[in-house]
Amino acid sequence: MSEAVADTVRDKVMAILAEQAVVAPGDIRMEATLGDLGIDSLGLVEAIFALEEAFDIEVPFNANDPGDSEFDISTVGAMVRAVESLIAAAK
Amino acid sequence: MITIAELAEALGAEMSGDGALEVSGAAEPAAAAADEIALAMQPAFAADLAKGRAQAAILWPGADWRALGLRAAIVAPRARYLLAGVTRVFERAPEIAPGIHPSALVDPSAEIGAGAAIGPYVVIGARVRIGPGARIFSHVSIAEDAAIGRDALLLQGVRIGARVRIGDRFIAQPGAVIGADGFSFVTPTPGHVEEARASGVTAGVITAEEQDAYVRINSLGAVAIGDDVEVGANSCIDRGTVADTTIGDGTKIDNQVQIGHNVKVGRTCLICGQTGVAGSTVIGDRVVLGGRAAIADHLRIGSNVVITGNTGVSSHVPDNRIMAGYPAVRLDQHVEMYKALRRLPRLLARLEEAAAAGQKAVSNPPASD
């Protein structure tokens, strides 16, 4: 993945999470957890759907226990990497 | 004023620091005055403590009260439970003068227990029995033969219907109505509702062109409420047709809840605002009905069931289920269904793409064929 594409992925993921957290994208730190951002389980489900739609990917997640999914949601950075690898796998 | 040591003892909680420090009330951390105890039960409130002037706080386990600039602290292992104790200690009970106000109309045959306080314009009917320690605020009316246990708190404008029976420590918020008639009508020949039910899920229209007028079914039953029940403002519990509508011990009902005729609600249930329970439905123990839940008639809702907010229940629910959506399904199924629904537009787009590609393949066969 080129650097420019990686930047776009990161920016889009941050924009989607910012929308769910109702904060400015600039206020999202890569090491922040969803808890830090005040995104609860239903907010996470919405964020995952937004990621699926934005990147045309299918996120393997267990909506009833998101922590138990293959998709790493531990931090914003982890989610960016997880989305990158899903995009790479889809190609 | 109460000392921190006394407060900790009343709450059954651990304290540290200056136990002799006195406080007059509780407040949010940022707004606390110097003589108030700040309620900072989560680390998120740490920053707010500095904005207020509290010298003492109720803190989360593991908090460093000295580092937060406090003189004393009480530790809350379970914040909301401790909050209940705090609100008991600092409660500002609604004011009511002892005795019976001269403007109250109390039927001579009514029995009012010792220590009652009855406010202005209260009307108490014939043969009503009220246990000791009642606080009955202005404009409450209690109809004939109703019986209420000890330590009742009936706030302004509560209406208790005839023959309603209520246990001890009942609390009714303003405007609650216990014992209105059930919404029960019948037609001489089978009516639209019966036709709709008989056709099950197959028909979408009513075939009959006319329907006879509705005939009223009177409510002969009353309402029976257990001990320690609370009913919120403007909530209504209708009386039963023949037997009583019942509410079990310890059940708490929020504002603007409608409980239909013949409904039986179990013990320690929690029924949130704007919920409606239609007639003759039986609800088990410890059931939680989230806000605006709608429960159809003649259903059985098991014990320990949680109905999430805005859910519409149209069939029986076994014990221990969490239900969501309309028609209500298990929460995990509901989330899977929602997931599928959200993915549907992209799935359709892919199908259309595939179909378009397929058509192309048929109309332009490869040259090798």
- What residues make up the domain containing B50? 2-89
- What residues make up the domain containing A76? 3-90
CA distance A50 to chain B (A): 10
Evaluate whether residue B85 is within a structural domain.
yes
Share of chain B above pLDDT 90, in %: 79
Average pLDDT over residues B97-114: 97
C-alpha torsion angle, residues B297, B298, B302, B305 (rounded to 10): -10
Angstrom CA distances, B294 to B223, B233, B260, B299, B341, stand at 21, 19, 11, 12, 23
Instruction: Tell me which of A46-55, B223-232, B275-284 is least confident.
Output: A46-55
Q: If 0-12 CB within 10 Å is exposed, 13-18 middle and 19+ buried, where does residue B22 land?
A: middle
With a cut of 70, say whether residue B366 has pLDDT above it: no
Phi and psi at residue B106, in whole multiples of 5°? -115, 120
| Enzyme catalytic residues of B | 261
- Select from A52, A53, A64, A71 the residue whose CB has the most chain B CBs within 10 Å, as the one to mutate to test that interface: A64
B positions 341-360 inside 8 Å of A (CB): 342-343, 346
User: What tokens does B230 get?
Assistant: 């609370």
Name the residue facing A49 among B331, B332, B342 (closest C-beta): B342
Partners of B336 on chain A (C-beta within 8 Å) are 63
pLDDT at residue B361 in the model:
61
Q: Give the number of other Cβ atoms within 10 Å of residue B151's Cβ.
A: 18
Evaluate whether residue B44 is within a structural domain.
yes
With a cut of 60, say whether residue B369 has pLDDT above it: no
Instruction: Tell me which of A36-50, A60-74, B122-136, B303-317 is least confident.
Output: A60-74
Average pLDDT over residues A9-20: 92
With a cut of 70, say whether residue A25 has pLDDT above it: yes
CB B98 within 8 A of CB B114: no
B18 or B187, greater pLDDT: B18
Q: If pLDDT is split at 50, 70 and 90, which confidence band does B188 have?
A: confident
For the domain that residue A80 is a member of, what is the CATH number? 1.10.1200.10
User: What tokens does B237 get?
Assistant: 């519990």
Average pLDDT over residues A39-61: 88
Q: Is B354 helix (H, G, I), strand (E, B) or coil?
A: helix
User: What tokens does B155 get?
Assistant: 């706030």
pLDDT at residue B170 in the model:
98
With an 8 Å Cβ cutoff, are A45 and B338 in contact? yes
pLDDT at residue B367 in the model:
55
Evaluate whether residue B61 is within a structural domain.
yes
Name the residue facing A53 among B336, B338, B346 (closest C-beta): B346
The domain tally of chain A equals 1
ipTM, interface predicted TM-score of the complex: 0.74
Evaluate whether residue B367 is within a structural domain.
no
∠ CA A47-A51-A52, nearest 5°, is 120
The domain tally of chain B equals 1
Helix, strand, coil abundance in chain A, percent, nearest 5: 60, 0, 40
For the domain that residue B51 is a member of, what is the CATH number? 3.40.1390.10
Partners of A90 on chain B (C-beta within 8 Å) are none
User: What tokens does B311 get?
Assistant: 């859910």
